[in-house]
Homo-oligomer: A and B are copies of this chain.
């Protein structure tokens, strides 16, 4: 299939590379700057553009992978065509395309993408939605070419997936960041935590998170909880420690 990418960020880069490796043709990469468009275009043998008027009108698929806030603005500037217009966002509804094109849908990969880090796209769950059944089928087939886990999911449900992604990735990473800051102040390398971090993630492959819980909060060991609160200087962080400890305790009563 002929695919146009609108946006050249981290998600677009990983998705475009994966589609290119699955023998699709990335006909164009649009980005606000030609530099950024060229960076991705160079990886997938594509043509970089930075003018919306130059967008190729006869592609099969247009993938909009841009910040949620700029998507609507872009949609107003691109003329309707016969391709399927897709976005890649967890929390934007399918209906955002209404009135902009006949065929549209969503392809939402549930993963965190960083520059300079390869991820195994095969293992990334893809959540598909479209405004008509044949396109759901088409997008499912497209998805199965790059991932083993392709699901059809409504916009309503997808936003909950995105919400849990924030808890299980961004907030988890912030717990790592907090630990990193505390250890740095004590002159201890963050690396000592890696076996614990790995085991904590590995455990929930076999046990439910509820079964996997350990530590002072689930034992409601107020001695240790109070001692930890005295070690934390930052008031906001104290509050976070207190709230999550209480939440663990109450969820396990």
A: residues with CB less than 8 A from B are 10, 67-69, 91, 110-114, 117, 119, 123-125, 149, 151, 153, 157, 159-183, 185-186, 188, 190, 192-201, 203-219, 221, 223-224, 227-228, 231-232, 236-237, 239-241, 243-244, 246-248, 250-251
> By the criterion CB–CB under 8 Å, are B175 and A223 in contact?
no
- In order of increasing CB-CB distance, the 9 nearest A-B pairs are A170-B215, A164-B179, A177-B209, A176-B209, A201-B201, A168-B179, A167-B175, A169-B200, A125-B192
The 20 sampled A-B contact pairs (Cβ below 8 Å) are: A91-B227, A123-B195, A153-B188, A160-B183, A160-B186, A164-B178, A164-B193, A165-B215, A167-B175, A167-B176, A167-B241, A170-B216, A172-B197, A173-B209, A174-B209, A174-B251, A176-B212, A180-B210, A190-B209, A240-B240
Nearest B residue to A239, CB-CB: B243
Total identical chains: 2
What residues of B have a CB within 8 angstroms of the CB of A190 in the complex? 204, 208-209
Nearest B residue to A221, CB-CB: B68
Per the bound structure, the CA–CA distance linking A108 and B219 in Å amounts to 19
Per the bound structure, the CA–CA distance linking A199 and B209 in Å amounts to 17
What residues of B have a CB within 8 angstroms of the CB of A204 in the complex? 173, 176, 190, 194, 197
